[in-house]
Structure 1
Amino acid sequence: MNQLDLQNRRAVITGGGRGMGFAIAKRLLQSGASVALWDVDQDTLKTAKEALSPLGPVHTQIVDVSDYAAVEAAAKKVSSIFGGIDLLINSAGIAGVNTPLVDYPLQTWNAVMNVNLNGIFHTCRAIVPYMQENDFGRIVNIASVAGKEGNPNASAYSVSKAGVIGLTKSLGKELALTGIRVNVICPAVIKTEMLENVTEEQIGYMLAKIPQGRMGTVDEISAMVGWVCSDECSYSTGAVFDLSGGRATY
């Protein structure tokens, strides 16, 4: 594992209880950061804290990122505990359902937008002011190749991730003259628990488009996130980093 210097950095990781969020938390802790894990499942957070605490300071909170008031309160608490917030990694997300757009349930559509897109707007809106206090920050949003290409029968997911890319580019430009960098990572299929809600047919479709012919791993995405969170990532902002096994074409 390549060594990263994140000593004394204070991170908020949404969806931090499992999957990509958990792996990212582990990588940041191994690099010297303190982490606050936000998730909606108490048992998941408890298990994650027990596993990660030997590596460094871990704070956990039950936070629904679709609720701005909850996000604002949680950010205030993290800043109070850690003395500030330097890093924000938005990995919370839901897949929705795989079905044609004309049959897509309205309630599910709204839920996907509220978590995947509105949730990132909420966390950025609440946490950027803490970063501005020290004129330093790294925001890493997790989108998807689906947001660039559009996966059939996954309209809500694709649209929400396209929105994340647009939000990242907009905020990155807004903060370009500050010490805050805002970037987005677009993975193809990453092997996580989230795939439990995706049909085998949909997974097969996505794998068939990947030249390497396999899913990515959470360790691979956490390695990329770690670097984007570092001081070395200084000239990239509003940028899209692909992690697609060769699928991405632009």
Structure 2
Amino acid sequence: MTIITALLLFLAGLVSGIINAIAGGGTFLTFGAMTLAGLPPISANATSSIVQFPGYITSALAYKETVKREWKALAILSVVSIVGSLGGALFLLSLSNPSFKSMVPWLLLAATALFAAGPKLRPAQSVEHPPSSPLGIAIQFITSIYGGFFGAGMGIMMLASLSLATGGDYHRLNAIKNFLSIIIALVAIFVFTAGGAISWLHGIIMLPGAGLGGYLGVYVAKRVPQTWLRYAVIAVGLFLAGYYFFKA
């Protein structure tokens, strides 16, 4: 790896941390940067889960009081998320890089569309239902399979599914989403590590940038319109989808 490549990876981690702290969607950058640097798609996807993981923890800590109130439902949904994420991660490792590469542009298009629709999917104030209802369990299982397989767009997908299953205000749903994201990512990281799919060199280079970006994101949020950042993430997603369609 050249010094220029390492600097670009660090920069991608930095910008992804900023975007995740403000609007979400940083996985597009980390995944794209690693694949453009020559990392196989499966390894890039697996390593992105490592890079994004600290941000899930800090986001969940910001909602610790809500997490405490929802602990019973979260215990049930955590078990569901473990099973789903395990299945998704194992399915990813069962694929060859060419097979996964052929799926990547479609996954990126779907995740980009989901991200673009994010503001409309965010719930308004509504009646709360138990998150661990049969509908909530079924939808969370599907979402966790996707999250274990391909993390981009998982957060928006989970907010939408939780809104359908349990309702309530945005911050309550975001707290549940952040906690369950930790569970899904942790299982995926364990599976990817055991399967030797993670490039620790790339991950170690990007992690400090992502951590710094998460901190700077608060500063940037006060000065840069979120709409601009959302458009930037959508542009990156569409660019990467087009790149992989061309490369397929």
The structure that is helix-richer by fraction is 2
Higher relative contact order (CA closer than 8 Å, sequence separation 6+)? 2
* TM-score interval, normalised by the smaller of the two chains: under 0.3
Structure ranking higher in strand proportion: 1
Q: Give the TM-score of the pair, scaled to structure 2.
A: 0.28
